Each structure stands twice: as structure tokens, then as C-alpha cells.
Amino acid sequence: MSHAPNRRRPSWQRLAAWAILVLFVLITLAPFYWMLRISLSDNRTLFAGAGSLLPSDFTFGAFRRVLGIATLEEAAAQGGSGANINFWRYLANSVATSAVITVCQVFFSAMAAYAFARLRWPGREQVFFVFLTALMVPPIFTALPNFVTVKELGLLNTYAGIMLPYLFMTPFAVFFLRQFFLNISREVEEAAIVDGAGHARIFFRLIVPMSSAPIATISLLVYIGAWNEYFWPLLVGQEDDVRVLTVALGIFRSQTPQAGPDWAGLMAATLLAALPIIALFAVFGRWIVNSIQFSGIK
């Protein structure tokens, strides 16, 4: 991998280019730092020290308020709004619904991808094309009737209602996995058939293990997507006991008083809601970056 530009002498042009790239990185990271900085501040002194780069009156008070371990007096003393946010519940809801969506969607999509990539049957390409056209339909187009469906099933404000439209497949997951399944060599499969293996066995013992890397990648993408979803859970899961973090943040923000908003609390809640994704990314970032190089979609 000898790469011509790297061997060139540093010039003012290259220095300027590097400076711009570093600036992009800084602009990308600065808001995350600012979220952290505000969340570690005391609301009461936030206004006076608005221009400081460090937290004003460093405290974990906002996190204690959000996590419900601060006393009422403590919260009031630091300018908390007193609004109770049931953070642990919302966190559990987000973790659980995203996990179930991921497992079911990836499993069923993998089955479908197997049928499209490894089995031979009349009409296969046409059916696959029909599946793909679903990518073109804007989500809101299906959201309205899906809401009616979920309502008719009596599943408003239930976990099932929040998860149902995402459980079976997404065109993207089927497309993504099919691409990898197509590249598995025929010979391995045929050897297994000669040994008398059925399709279920080939799928579970051969195709899935051989595709563990792309399956892990798509699982990660599905999990992040489900975690970040706002529109659908806003429609069907507003009630407190099934509320997920994104919906909770929106409500927390609209309940925040205009006069003296609890900025530190808001940023602490926001940071906690983003933290699992940032952690996932820190560990598995390389896969996600590579998957974008591969697919070009989503």
C-alpha cells in the first residue's frame, strides 16, 4: 500500500489541508464536550459562567437528579425543575425494545436473505425486487395505517405495539445480508447436501456461522436505529410505563419551564441517553465504518 501523497514533502498546502481536517474533527467533537460540560454544572451559576470552558461549580448533581438519587432539597438547591423523570424505566424500555427488535429482525431477515441468495425457485428475482421497492416508500406513508393497525389490535402503549412493525424484516437488512450470502461458495454447500444435510441445517450450521461478521454488523446497525427511533414510539408509546428514552427526552424538554430551564438536568439526561450508543461505537466503530464503505445505503 505505498501511497504517493504520503511520500511528498510537507508543503504549506498539505499543512493547510490538515488544519481544515483537524478543524472538522474539532467541530464534530465540541458539542459532545459542551453537553458534558453543562451536565456537570450547577444550574444556579450556569448563567454567570456561561462563557467558561469548564463546568461552573463542578457537581454530579444533575446526574443524581436524572437518576433519581438526589433528595428533593438537593435538587431544588441546584435549580432542578423538580420534574420527576423515571430514567431507569425509560432506559430499560429502550434497551429491551431495541434488543428484541434486533434479534427478531436480523433473524427473520437472514432467513429471507437465505431464500433469496441460496435457494432456487421461480419468481425469486421478481419477489426480491418487490421487497426492495419498500425502500422507496417514505416511512410516514406506512406509519399512518400502521398506527391504525396497532390501535385496532389494541396494542397502543404496549411494548408489542412499539416493536411490531420492525420485528419481521426491513428491506435494508434483507438486502444487506443477501449480498454476503451470495458470495459464499457453492462447493461448501454442495458438500453438505451430499452428506445429507437439509436446508435448516445448512442455514444454521453453515451460512450463519460463515456470515457472523456481517450479521454482527447489521445487528449493530439495527440496534442503533431502533434505539434512536423517535417518530414511531412517539405515536404509539407515550405512556410512562412503556416510554423509551427518545420520547422521554422530548417530553422532558417540553415540560421544562420557560423561565428557569434545568439545562444541567436536560444535558445530563441527554448524555445518558446517548452514552450506550457512544460506548457501542467506541468498541465496534470499525465495523460500522466499513459497512458504509460496503453498502452505500443507509
Partner 1 sequence: MKTSTLRPLGRRAGDLPVAMVFLLPAAVGFAVFYLWPTLRTMYLSFTEYSLLAPPEWIGVENYQKVFGDRLFWNSLQVTVEYVVINIGIQTVVALGMAVLMHRLTRSGLIRGVLLLPYLVANVVVALIWYTMLDAQLGIVNQALEWIGVDPVAFFGETSTAIPTIALVNVWRHVGYTALLIFAGLQAIPKTFYEAAQTDGASEIRMFWRITLPLLRPALALVLVLTIIGSFQIFDTVAVTTKGGPVNATRVIYYYIYEQAFQRFNFGYAAAVCVALFAILATLALMQLKLLRAGETDLD
Q: Which is nearer to partner 1, 72 or 201 (CB)?
A: 201
Helix axes 124-133, 171-182, angle to 10 degrees: 140
If you compute the radius of gyration of the chain from its CA atoms, what whole number of angstroms results? Answer: 24
Contact 36, 45 (CB under 8 A): no
Residues 111-130 that bind partner 1 (CB under 8 A): 111-112, 114-115, 119-122, 124, 127
Is 191 an interacting residue with respect to partner 1 (CB under 8 A)?
no
Q: Which residue has the cell 454442495?
A: 190
Distance CA 58, CA 54 (A): 8
Using the contact rule CB under 8 A, the part of the chain among 15-23, 57-65, 68-76, 155-163 near partner 1 is: 15-23
Distance CA 263, CA 287 (A): 35
Is 165 an interacting residue with respect to partner 1 (CB under 8 A)?
yes
Residues 19-78 that bind partner 1 (CB under 8 A): 20-21, 24-25, 27-29, 31-32, 34-35, 38, 46-47, 50-51
Of positions 184, 199, 206, 240, contacts partner 1 by CB under 8 A = 199
Percentages (nearest 5) of helix, strand, coil residues in the chain: 70, 0, 30
Residues 71-90 that bind partner 1 (CB under 8 A): none
Is 140 an interacting residue with respect to partner 1 (CB under 8 A)?
yes
Of positions 63, 87, 90, 131, contacts partner 1 by CB under 8 A = 131
- Minimum CB separation from partner 1 for residue 138, in Å? 6
Is 144 an interacting residue with respect to partner 1 (CB under 8 A)?
yes
Distance CA 211, CA 182 (A): 11
